[in-house]
Chains A and B, each alone.
Chain A
Amino acid sequence: MNDSLGHIFIDSLLINNFVLCVFLGMCSFLGLSAKFSTAWRMGVSVMFVITVSGVLSYGAHLMLVALHAEYLRIILYIVIIASTVQLTEMFIKKTSPALFRELGVYLPLITTNCAVLAVPLFQDSRGYNLIQSTVFAIAASGGYCLALMLLSLIRERTYLSDVPGLAKGTALTLVLAAILSMTFMGFAGMGSGG
């Protein structure tokens, strides 16, 4: 496996896109993609949370290995993520109350966004070092942000089209996601050839 930084970046941003190819962060992907304005803000908040908690979890993992207490990793990661989310919430509330109101209940829900928990788990299993972990966290969350924005732009256009009543809502969103996911499969050849 190629572990250069550029490869990690492209791989987790496009080839193994967190949302469209690895199926992480589905709930907010389907739930928050109705409007572009909410989607990109959510995407950026998640990027921030993932990057900070990814780097913190790297340190936490080193500590757990030193203490021979790896069985505590799930609990520790969740605590780190929950506190990062709390921090982000306080930060956004102070700097932009309007954005805080708009994101509403979805902000605390970042805690149970599986994309956030997946980053530290993947960086453990792949044995990344600190710089690799940081690049991985930024790229993976960038991929999440990208997919969320793309889907929200497509969904905004479907509001004017004539869709059968049954398919409105989740089913239509899933079909759109399937088409997006097929498009992203086109990236699969990148990086392996060369």
Chain B
Amino acid sequence: MSDNAVSCHSPAPAAAKDNPFLNGLWKQNPVFVQVLGMCPTLAITNSVRNAIAMGLATTFVLTGSNCLISMVRKMVPKQVRIATYIAIIATMVTLVDYLVKAISITVYKALGAYIPLIVANCIILERAEAYAGKKPVLKSTLDGLGMGLGFAFALSCLGTVREVLGAGTFLGVHIFGPNFEPWVLFLLPPGGFISLAIWLLTFATFRERKAKREAAKAKADLEQLEAAAV
């Protein structure tokens, strides 16, 4: 137990600088970096509006479940923690299910079975297990909010590519004029796989460039130091 506590606290100085909110939004983005929660990412992103609705619904569940799980983390015995987490998540999802139905019946119909399926979204259980079960309430809530908005951001990225190429519209507004021939493949399932692959490659390129730049900079610094020492 003491070992566990030490390993939990050892990265704390570094993590203290890392804002849990920004961490989820960008550095540990659930879709582009962790590649989690693929089902809604691919299924719901054929229009920007649906993508944003799904992203916000997930954010709501993630924030609520992280907050509640963090509150009860000291009361729950270790053996039954997963079952407890799932019960809490399922309750939040039931709330969202009825909330979306009350706000907009069109969105509810468009998202269909994918709202109840938020229960089975691996990001939520992963955050519960990796973060909310160990950290204080405020931090966990912020982490849930950041991760959720990061997820919503990734979904809208994908949704934009697919809607613009597949239907020639953005949020339902035509942007290419009447002569645009829609690239329907992007609205169909294969388009989801392809556009996610393209986004992942784009982000991998950025990351590699950044790593190269940093390596070059470190090398230059080292050479300068050596020159100064001579």
Contacts and interface: CB of A to CB of B under 8 A. Distances in A.
Nearest to B191: A178
A170 B113 contact: no
Interface stretch (A34-42, A116-124, A136-144): A116-124
Interface stretch (A1-9, A21-29, A60-68): A21-29
A78 B87 CA distance: 8
B93 A178 contact: no
Contacts of B122: 27, 109, 112
Interface string B167-190: 000000000000000000100111
A99 interface: no
B90 interface: yes
Contacts of A113: 120
Contacts of A71: 94, 98
Interface string B107-138: 00000110011011110010000000000000
Nearest to B35: A170
A116 B113 CA distance: 13
Contact of B194 (A72, A73, A116, A178): A178
B155 to A, nearest CB: 13
A132 interface: no
B36 interface: yes
A111 B86 contact: yes
A71 B121 CA distance: 20
Interface residues of B, number: 42
Contacts of A167: 201
Interface residues of A, number: 42
B196 A122 contact: no
Given A23-B39, A114-B117, A121-B116, A174 B94 contact: no
Contact of B42 (A23, A74, A117, A179): A23
A177 interface: yes
Given A74-B93, A114-B39, A174 B116 contact: no
Interface of A: 20-27, 29-30, 71-75, 78, 82, 108-109, 111-114, 116-118, 121-122, 125, 166-167, 170-172, 174-175, 177-179, 181-182, 185
Interface of B: 35-39, 41-43, 82-83, 86-87, 90-91, 93-94, 97-98, 112-113, 116-117, 119-122, 125, 185, 188-194, 196-197, 200-201, 204-205, 208
